[in-house]
A and B are shown apart, each in its own frame.
Chain A
Amino acid sequence: MKTEDIEAILEKYSISRGGLISILQGIQSKYGYLPEKSLNIVSEKTGRSLVDIYGVATFYKSFRLKPRGKHLISVCLGTACHVRGGPVIAEEFERQLEIKAGETTPDKEFTLQAVNCLGACALGPIVVVDGHYFSNVNTTKVKQIINKAREGLDKVEIKTDERIFPVEVSCPRCNHTLMDPFNLIDGYPSIRVTTSFGRKHGWLRLSCLYGSYNTEVEYEISEDTVRNFFCPHCHAELIGVTNCPNCDAPMVSMIVRGGGMIQICSRRGCKEHKLDLNGINF
């Protein structure tokens, strides 16, 4: 945590009384929780006493003073789920994860929380893991849910998900195909491009399935860094005209065989992508 980062957040919001919640939200969205030191800095810079800030931070449920685990498990203990056995489910989670509700496992994998009504009472007891709803949960399902969460619920089922289809792309400048038939990803030929980041150059293979995020790289780079993408044949940079609506990094564009353009975000970890088939936007 850096003092400058907090200062940048402070600058964005007004220091008046009403600005405090926005400031805390800003800090939380950056770190995932409110580090003790950050509150001290906020108090120093805004001139408000630490007690007040601490009071606000502990008053609202959405502020956390402790770091959250990678996966958030919310067990509903609202009225409907309660009568359908929510407390038993919560207990089972507590037993299996060996933590109490509101705590995080020591390996920072799971945070368990009890919530009051998630708005799906008819399907109760409800458990929500990283935004995925599990309905009619019983104690035997608890183990499965934990395992699924460990594997990552954001992984797309390539075989069954119909939003996924293969595309064939080529370089917008030299029109050479970028497909690599010898290296398969997800069982399909991969898209091969050259990437550079700083001084490092290397190949990057993307899955050609639209909607799948599987990649292979020569050099691992850390999340969040922006890379440049080049055509391996003519070495022109594959740069689009727009910036990513999510993270503002430049978009990388490639031609889709059969007409149209595909754009992907150049930031590692950002999943923004766009497909434009002859003007039809997907």
Chain B
Amino acid sequence: MITLNINGANVSVEKGTTILEALRFIGFPIPTLCFVEGLTPYGACRLCVVEIGEGSSSKLVSSCTYPVEEGLKVRTASKRVIKTRKMIIELLLASCPQSKTIQDLASQYGVHQQRFKQEYEDCILCGLCVRMCEEQMMAKAIGFYGRGENRKIGTPFGIPSEVCRLCGGCMYICPACQLRCTFNQPEKAICGACANLSPPCLDKEQFDDMMCYMDPCVACEIKKD
């Protein structure tokens, strides 16, 4: 067991847990975006910042990736943390203003203005879909490519992946898009069902009773009949 100090209170948690897990266990509300139970923590969104250490040696870390240490002093609601978190939300809002998840976060944390240039991206590179695809759906059909400004998520060479079985898990978990539908470009869409009425998963017999997030799905309707 490891004892750490959270907001002045001493708590003991199992070795190997992260600060976020410890905080949630005790009941401190910490917003997260790129952390979902069942997927490895990735530390992309930085929403879960907390301040550790004391005085001049204190620093901000992402609690979802930081393992607890003996005697660690954690502050979850210091001025610095709140200011930083607001800024992060503001930045996220600037890149994906249309995302409901981010809008909710903004109103919840009192971010009422957004001073940066609107980008209208449809991705915040949180990597949830990549991890979902790899760790839960065992497919590894999508991944990051490019770097820096040009970092994107997609299938290799931008063509439909052979290992993708169209489960829809990536769209289900995405915080930035609520089911990104691109029916007017059916060849690029994941399902394209509405446009061509023959979802490509129909001829992939082996995925018959695999988990799928598509709901409602034309393929299932056709199969039922």
Contacts and interface: CB of A to CB of B under 8 A. Distances in A.
Interface in B135-179: 140-147, 155-157, 161, 163
A36 B155 contact: no
A157 to B, nearest CB: 42
Interface residues of B, number: 13
A50 B156 CA distance: 7
B145 A58 contact: yes
Contacts of A52: 140, 143
Contacts of A55: 143-145
Contacts of B163: 49-50
A58 B145 CA distance: 6
A51 B147 contact: no
Interface string B76-116: 00000000000000000000000000000000000000000
A54 interface: yes
A49 B142 CA distance: 10
Contacts of B142: 51
A104 to B, nearest CB: 17
B151 to A, nearest CB: 9
Which secondary structure characterizes the binding site on chain B? loop
A182 interface: no
Contacts of A65: 157
Contact of A59 (B140, B147, B157): B147
A51 B146 contact: no
A89 interface: no
Which secondary structure characterizes the binding site on chain A? helix
A39 B147 contact: no
A227 B193 CA distance: 61
Contacts of B140: 49-52
A156 B22 CA distance: 71
Contacts of A58: 145-147
B143 A36 contact: no
Interface in A64-80: 65
B25 to A, nearest CB: 34
Nearest to A51: B143
B141 A51 contact: yes
A65 B147 CA distance: 15
A87 B130 CA distance: 37
A114 B42 CA distance: 33
Nearest to A54: B156
A35 to B, nearest CB: 11
A54 B145 CA distance: 7
A54 B159 CA distance: 12
A75 to B, nearest CB: 19
Interface string A35-64: 010010000000001111111001100000
Nearest to B147: A59
A98 B60 CA distance: 49
A33 B171 CA distance: 33
Given A58-B146, A58-B147, A59-B146, A51 B157 contact: no
Contacts of B145: 54-55, 58-59
Nearest to B159: A36
Contacts of A49: 140, 143, 163
B157 A36 contact: yes
Interface in A241-276: none
A27 to B, nearest CB: 15
A177 B156 CA distance: 61
Contacts of B141: 51
A262 B140 CA distance: 58
A33 to B, nearest CB: 13
A236 B142 CA distance: 63
B127 to A, nearest CB: 12
Contacts of B161: 50-51
Given A36-B157, A39-B156, A54 B143 contact: yes
27 contacts: A36-B157, A39-B156, A49-B143, A49-B163, A50-B140, A50-B156, A50-B161, A50-B163, A51-B141, A51-B143, A51-B155, A51-B156, A51-B161, A52-B140, A52-B143, A54-B143, A54-B145, A54-B156, A54-B157, A55-B143, A55-B144, A55-B145, A58-B145, A58-B147, A59-B145, A59-B147, A65-B157
Given A50-B156, A50-B161, 10 more contacts: A50-B140, A51-B155, A51-B156, A51-B161, A53-B156, A54-B145, A55-B143, A55-B144, A58-B147, A65-B157
A-B residue pairs, 4 tightest by C-beta: A51-B143, A54-B156, A49-B140, A58-B145
